[in-house]
Amino acid sequence: MSGHAAVKAQGDAAGVLRLVGYIGFAVALMVLDRRFAALEGLRSAAAHVAEPILLLAELPARGAQWLRYVVVEREQLATENQRLKEGLLQSQQQAFSMRAALEQLQRQQQLLEAAPQGLTGMLVRVIEVDLGSSRARIRVDRGTRHGVRIGDAALDAFGVYGQVIRVGQEQAEVLMLSDPDHAIPVLASRSGLRAIAQGGGLDAPLRIDSVPLTADIRSGDALIASGLGGRFPAGFPVGTVLRVSRDDGAAFLSVEVEPAARLQVSRELLLTPVPLVEPQLMEGPPMPTPAAATAAPPTEAAG
Amino acid sequence: MRSSALLFWFATAAALLFALLPGPGWFLAVKPLMLALVLIYFAMEQPEHVGVGTAFLIGLCADLLSGALLGEQALRCAVLVYLVLRFRQRLRFFPLAQQTAAVLALLVNDRVIALWIQLVAGFSLPPTSQWLDLASSTLLWPWLFLTLDRLRYRQRSSGAGSR
């Protein structure tokens, strides 16, 4: 009897040891993944298997969407169509002004004999799967095979949507503006104030912290991407200021921003390659980039 | 034996796909934790199919599919299955109501681990509505238990007495 108990206890100890081993392994994986991003190789290998599975998981949603189009009333479709046309018109206007700027940039690049860049955007579809709520992420149906790169800006018809944080062969992952890890340099178009808008979490407004008390910003101000850092196209709408609050004793204003992009609704996005507008085209003091200055003398000519 | 393994892998695959299923916000808020329930069931009823290592690998698959922090669900699944295997004899012979309460306790433990991981990893914590899925999972447990039991017995009776 006691022998049996001893054997059982030994088995328990071995079980606990094994569990501790697995926990250690999992913690190591998490640290490698979070702190060092060392597992992208494993991820891209797994992506070959995962990508078709994600498409399979999306099938019911697409079926429901199809059903909705079959069943939904004409009128609703007509109003939606009208709204979309207006959105298209707006974005075409933006597109024209962008194209003018791009052509100018391309001419300058030709003058400087710089390598030509693919400066067109790529229309991608959002794959409707639930990726869990730990971060505000979505997946889209284009990957490295189509030329998507990490850092590409994602735009929807109404404004900046987010940026590409991970790319597989056929799919890519986009971090939304509203993720707490996401930050974007913005410019208040009325006052010219520069700031950095940070995500506040899914369904929550963006936040701008550390705005000086004397700064000229009020609710209703439109914020656009400033283009600093060269990641997001300058001039694209980011959002409007919802509320400016001043806590007692606080040295800074806290600003809440309603994103312009329809983060939960948009199902088609435009991915644009990383350096759309170089920072030196923006007004203001030059960025301290000694490496770029020594490596590329054309930067002087561009300014 | 082989057909019961088939049922386990089929249920696991279905649970993995179910986790990816999109829907309106309220649906995502109450979406049951199917993978955890399936693992609890098979660890309890057929421990020959699901050990701590298997659970770890299945959790890793879930992590890779959702693109979340690699290792998070692996750890949670391993701990969950370990606890079920540890208390298996008691869990199996609980009446269904008591067993359901035990499942809720397991899921709460699982959620605490998940929140702890997210806190340490520096992610923002999900909203409080996140606890609704535990309620729906618990409510689903008796149905899932009886359904899987029935499927298993049907298999056994048609399985030419392989066991």
User: What CATH number is attached to the domain comprising A249?
Assistant: 2.40.10.340
Q: Same structural domain for residues A62 and A111? A: no
Interface ipTM > 0.90 = no
Q: How far is CA A175 from CA A136, A166, A182, A249, B61, in A?
A: 6, 9, 7, 34, 21
Q: Is residue A19 in some structural domain?
A: yes
The DSSP line for B56-125 is: HHHHHHHHHHHT-STTHHHHHHHHHHHHHHHTHHHHHHS-HHHHHHHHHHHHHHHHHHHHHHHHHHTPPP
pLDDT at A272: 85
How close, in Å, is residue A104 to chain B by CA atoms? 39
Number of domains in chain A: 3
Domain-located, residue A2: no
**β-pairing verdict for A237-245 and A222-225:** antiparallel
The verdict on a CB contact (< 8 Å) between B71 and A57 is no
DSSP output for A149-203? -TT-EEE-SSSEEEEEEEE-SS-EEEEETTSTT-EEEEEETTT--EEEEE--STT
- Segments making up each domain of chain B, as ranges: 2-158
Using a CB–CB cut-off of 8 Å, the residues of B that contact A are 16-17, 19-23, 25, 28, 31, 52-53, 56, 60, 64-72, 74-75, 78-79, 82, 85-86, 117-118, 121-124, 126-127, 130
A137 pLDDT higher than 60 = yes
| A129/B67 Cβ within 8 A | no
Nearest in space to A182 (alpha carbons), one of A169, A173, A191, A170: A173
Nearest residue, CB atoms, B65 vs list A30, A50, A181: A50
Q: Are residues A44 and A181 in the same domain?
A: no
Question: How confident is the model over B41-59, as pLDDT tens digits?
Answer: 999 988 888 889 999 999 9
| Domain-located, residue A296 | no
Q: Strand A172-176 to strand A222-225: parallel, antiparallel, or no bridges (unpaired)?
A: unpaired
pLDDT score at A206: 92
Contact list in A for residue B78 (CB cut-off 8 A) is 19, 22-23, 26
Distance from CA of B102 to the nearest CA of A (A): 21
CB contact under 8 A, A23 and B79: yes
Element (H, E) at A78: helix A74-111
- Residue A301 in any domain: the answer is no
Of A34, A46, A264, the CB nearest to B64: A46
Among chain B residues, CA nearest to A64? B23
Alpha helices of A209-297 — where are they, by DSSP H?
A: 290-295
Q: How many CB atoms lie within 10 A of CB A277?
A: 22
State yes or no: pLDDT of A120 exceeds 90. no
Across the A/B interface, how many CB contacts are shorter than 8 Å? Answer: 114
With contact defined as beta carbons under 8 Å apart, do A129 and B63 qualify?
no
Same domain, A147 and A272: yes
Over residues A20-40, the pLDDT tens digits come to 999 999 998 888 887 776 677
| pLDDT value of residue A164 | 92
Across the interface, do A132 and B52 touch by the CB < 8 Å criterion? Answer: no
Across all residues in chain A, what is the average pLDDT?
78
Shared-domain flag, residues A51 and A85 = no
Nearest residue to A43 (alpha-carbon basis) of A171, A175, A179: A171
Contact A130 B78 (CB under 8 A): no
Q: What torsion, rounded to 10 degrees, do the Cα atoms B99, B103, B105, B109 define? A: 150
A111 pLDDT band, cuts 50/70/90, is low
Residue A95, domain extent? 73-116
Predicted confidence (pLDDT) per residue in A198-214, tens digit: 988 877 889 998 788 88
Task: Report whether pLDDT(B60) > 80.
Answer: yes
The answer to whether the CB atoms of A19 and B124 lie below 8 A apart is: no
Is A166 close to B19, i.e. CB distance below 8 A?
no
Query: Quick one: angle between helices B72-86 and B52-66, nearest 10?
Result: 150
Query: Which residues on chain B are in Cβ contact (under 8 Å) with A54?
Result: 20, 65
Residues A274 and A207 in one domain: yes
Distance of alpha carbon A85 from alpha carbon A91, whole angstroms:
10
pLDDT tens per residue across span B71-104: 899 999 999 999 999 999 889 889 999 999 999 9
Chosen domain end from A86, A116, A146: A116
The DSSP-derived string for A98-126 is HHHHHHHHHHHHHHTTPPP-----EEEEE
The CA distance from A136 to A10, in Å, is 45
- Whether residues A134 and B118 touch (CB distance < 8 A) is answered with yes
Residue A297 belongs to some domain of the structure:
no
Token pair of A247, please?
């806590």
Interface residue ranges in chain A relative to chain B, Cβ cutoff 8 Å = 12, 15, 18-19, 22-23, 25-30, 32-34, 39, 42-43, 46, 50, 53-54, 56-58, 60-61, 128-135, 137, 139, 166, 173, 180-181, 201-202, 264
Domain shared by A239 and A205, yes or no:
yes
pLDDT tens for each residue of A71-107: 776 778 888 888 888 888 888 888 888 888 888 777 7
**Of the candidate ranges A2-6, B5-9, B84-88, the one whose mean pLDDT is the lowest:** A2-6
**A52, A83, A116 — which closes off a domain?**
A116
A132–B66 C-beta distance less than 8 A: yes
> Is residue B61 within 8 Å of B16, Cβ to Cβ?
yes
Residues pairing with B107 in the sheet? none
Q: What's residue A297's pLDDT? A: 42
How far separated are the first and last CA of chain A, in Å rounded?
A: 88
Query: Which chain B residues have a beta carbon less than 8 Å from that of A38?
Result: none
Q: How far is A285 from chain B (nearest CA, A)?
A: 34
In whole angstroms, how far apart are CA B54 and each of A154, A277, B48, B129, B141?
38, 50, 10, 31, 22
Look up residue A175 and give its amino acid: L
A180 vs B68: CB contact, 8 Å cut-off? no
Cβ distance of A29 and B28 shorter than 8 Å: no
- A149 touches A27 (CB < 8 A): no
pLDDT score at B1 = 52
Within 10 angstroms of residue A184's Cβ, the number of other Cβ atoms is: 27
pLDDT in tens, A250-271: 778 889 999 998 888 888 888 8
pLDDT for B80: 95
For residue A22, what are its two tokens? Answer: 């697995």
User: With contacts defined as CB-CB under 8 Å, which chain B residues touch A60?
Assistant: 21
Boundary residue ending a domain (A116, A151, A176) = A116
**Distance between CA atoms of B51 and B112, rounded to whole angstroms?**
22
Residue A62 and residue A47 in one domain: yes
In three-state secondary structure terms, B132 is helix
